[in-house]
Structure 1
Amino acid sequence: MKKLLLIAALATPLLSGCIVAVSDGEVEHGWVSEHNNWEKTQRNNRQKISQLNIGTDYQSVLNSFNTPDFTELVKKGNTVYQVLYFATNSKHSDGKVTKDECTPLVFKDAKLIGFGETAMSEIL
């Protein structure tokens, strides 16, 4: 540690006009990095959703995606509906995800019955 401080002290005069940052291991990415990250995530979500098949098992779908942005669960009679929402279309570049920026995946008794607003109309 003392060697590191000595090197930093000796190098400081050479760094005029530069910023030396010391981190505790946590990194806060700038807007550009976050921007690219959410775009990549949404593109990946759209690609995965486009490859889904009717009847795919709930757990299989859940395992192939990251954590859903929103989830819903409802029981009507003897039927259980689960809805997973994944961000696919950002409308507000504010870093927050809302349901209107997501595509819903609708499951009936743990089997995929569809995705999007048309599928949602099945359970409303």
Structure 2
Amino acid sequence: MKSAHILLLTATMMLPLGGCVIKINGDDRESDHGNWRSIQQSNVQRIKLLELGRSLSSIESEFGTPDIVESFQRDGNAYKVWFYRTQHVNSDGVTRRDETTPLVFIDDELVGWGETAIDKATR
């Protein structure tokens, strides 16, 4: 009888906890989505400190994978434009070009950033 009483008491105490869920860590996509502000702020600060002539690999090591990548070849040179998120425009969960700053590389060397760099590289 005492065992049945303890079992009933334990079950009664656990019943309110049945709907509780504790989320310790989400998947990477969720944490990146929730962390866009700090990534964006970090990108802005890093871009302020950029120096021309840096290698593509050193930029990738510092900034991580770009949000958008474009590339083309002209006159025997390989052009790459990497876009990193630097400003918030829409809360749609998608990073678009108007929310980024472009970094322009010719033959894997940083030659400029911003829309002016794209204009000069594509003339």
**TM-score bracket, shorter-length normalisation:** 0.7 to 0.9
- Of the two, which has the highest radius of gyration? 2
Instruction: Give deviations 1:21-50, integer Å, cap 9, x for gaps.
Output: 277x8637xx9x945x11111001111111
Letter in 2 for 1:48: R
User: Using the alignment, how far apart are the partners of 2:14 and 2:33 within structure 1?
Assistant: 31
Q: CA deviation at 1:12?
A: 2.3
AA paired with 1:21?
Answer: V
For structure 1, list consecutive stretches of 5 or more residues without a partner in the other structure: 1-5
Work out whether 1:107 is the aligned partner of 2:105: yes
- Residue of structure 2 in register with 1:3 after alignment: none
Report what 1:20 is aligned to.
Answer: 20
| CA distances 1:47-82 after superposition (whole Å, capped 9, x unpaired) | 111111010111110111121111111110111111
Aligned length: 112
Equivalent residues in 2 for 1:61-80, closer than 5 Å: 61-80=59-78
- Structure 2 runs not aligned, ≥5 long: 1-6
Runs of 4+ in 1 over 3 A off after TM superposition: 8-11
* Amino acid across the alignment from 1:44: S
CA distance in 1, matches of 2:86, 2:41: 7
Aligned mates of 1:11, 1:27 — CA distance in 2: 28
RMSD between superposed Cα atoms in Å: 3.0
Matches within 5 A, 1:1-124: 9=11, 11-13=13-15, 15=16, 19-21=19-21, 27=26, 34-35=33-34, 37-124=35-122
TM-score by length of 1: 0.76
Mapped to 1, the partners of 2:66 and 2:113 lie a distance apart of 14
Q: Considering fraction of residues, name the structure with more helix.
A: 2
